[in-house]
A = this chain, B = another copy of it.
Amino acid sequence: MSVVVQKYGGTSVADAARIGNVARRIVATFEQGHSVCAVVSARGDTTDELLALAREITPDPPEREMDMLLSAGERISCALLAMAIHRLGYDAVSYTGSQAGIITDTTHTKARILDIHPDRIESAMREGKIVLVAGFQGVSTAKDVTTLGRGGSDTTAVALAHALGAMVCETYTDVDGVYTANPSLVSRARKLDHVSYDEMLEMAASGAQVLALRSVEYARKFDIPIHVRSSFTEAEGTWVNDGGHGMDIEQQLEQPIIRAISYTTDEAKVTLRGVPDKPGVAARVFNALAAARVNVDTIIQNTSESGHSDISCTVPAEDLPAAELALHDVVEQLGAREYVTDSSIAKISLIGAGMRSHPGVAATMFQTLADLGINLDMIGTSPIKISCVIAKEHVDEAVRTLHTAFDLDEKDVVHEASDRGVC
């Protein structure tokens, strides 16, 4: 069986006309001789509407009930899509995360997939049925409905692609691929034909919205090619895989230094000041944050002469309350002076495998920002990424200027920026 897994986001199934459009696309793929398993997100604003209903009832909904509530959106979508496919004369069946055999841990609202039992999907495919699966959800080992956290439908799709031995995972969204920068911010952003798993991983971790981080981790780990496409056109999109981007040094020299720029304004900076400079201190700080389930990104420690240091890191804005609770205790335990937070930051990241052999990249980045009069705060690096934290108010100008400075601009055509979704 040649299996194709597809994932359709909320915009792609927002109304009856779009659902019909997706149904035709799925059927066309099936007619090419493939078995198709399509993962579906909730329609349009459904998830936000359900969240609003919950907030009307209580500011602090129990997470198990939140999952019961939010999982309804995807069930509605996949049932409607199955109906639309039936209408075209094809046999289709929809499955909840549980029926699809997606088993998760019990961490409600951010569950991790532990295992997938694809038997029911495979039977249906052998019977010639097109299979729809409600994205973003599974069933826990305690037999409760769970949801997988932000971008959960991407994760469902890639995980199923692995379990079903699919040849590709196609993710359909409202942009036609992965761009060199958010096309609705940078009008001269270019669509990339290809990015490697590592580059996509860095981009997702640094703010790119087009694919959820966890799904890219999965794809990289199990070598599942992802094809990011628009649901509104037939055009080839961006391929995410490790082919065509060899480690051959000549090829690397030919690659552009920087492939893309991502940014995020959804992080906050937390700093412990005046931490006694003793072994094990940093470990205690980050153990406390980990215990509070706070994801930590860029970490900086500066030692001053007085035998105390400041430790800073960035966390997702939504984790800030939990981080503050954790740090409050740690400040006391360590005898640190205080902790402070700053929510008005943005983090800009340059990504490129070609960066390795070009030490001037950092210099160019910092000079470009300095020329704009923008202060740099924290700087973080990996072999294929350089990030720095700046004040949120400068992010638009900084991203556009860096995009030009690193020769990423589209040469001939200026895209209509306002029509584009988020990269």
Contacts and interface: CB of A to CB of B under 8 A. Distances in A.
Q: Most chain-B Cβ atoms within 10 A of its Cβ — which of A53, A68, A96, A143?
A: A68
A87 interface: yes
Interface string A143-154: 111000000000
Interface in A50-109: 50, 53-54, 56-58, 60-62, 64-66, 68-69, 71-72, 75-76, 78-80, 82-84, 86-87, 92-94, 96, 99
Contacts of A57: 16, 19-20, 80, 83-84, 87
Q: Most chain-B Cβ atoms within 10 A of its Cβ — which of A19, A71, A80?
A: A80
Contacts of A84: 57-58
Contact of A62 (B19, B66, B69, B86): B86
A68 to B, nearest CB: 4
Interface in A183-228: none
Contacts of A56: 16
A76 B87 contact: no
A82 B92 CA distance: 34
Interface in A82-140: 82-84, 86-87, 92-94, 96, 99
Nearest to A82: B65
Contacts of A71: 75
Contact of A86 (B16, B58, B144): B58
Q: Most chain-B Cβ atoms within 10 A of its Cβ — which of A54, A64, A83?
A: A83
Contacts of A96: 68, 145
B65 A76 contact: no
A contacts with B: majority SS? helix
5 contacts: A53-B76, A54-B83, A65-B86, A65-B94, A72-B72
A118 to B, nearest CB: 15
Given A56-B16, A57-B83, A61-B86, A72 B76 contact: yes
A55 to B, nearest CB: 9
A16 B60 CA distance: 15
A58 B79 contact: no
Interface of A: 16, 19-20, 50, 53-54, 56-58, 60-62, 64-66, 68-69, 71-72, 75-76, 78-80, 82-84, 86-87, 92-94, 96, 99, 143-145
A69 B65 contact: no
A99 B145 CA distance: 10
Total identical chains: 2
A53 B69 contact: no
Contacts of A19: 57
Contacts of A62: 82-83, 86
Contact of A72 (B54, B61, B75, B83): B75
Contact of A68 (B61, B66, B94): B94
A61 B65 CA distance: 30
B143 A99 contact: yes
A30 to B, nearest CB: 17
B75 A61 contact: no
Contacts of A145: 96
B68 A79 contact: yes
A83 B54 CA distance: 8
Contacts of A64: 93
A61 B83 contact: yes
Task: Return the 6 tightest CB-CB contacts between A and B, nearest first.
Answer: A69-B79, A16-B56, A68-B79, A58-B87, A72-B72, A65-B82
Contacts of A87: 57-58, 60
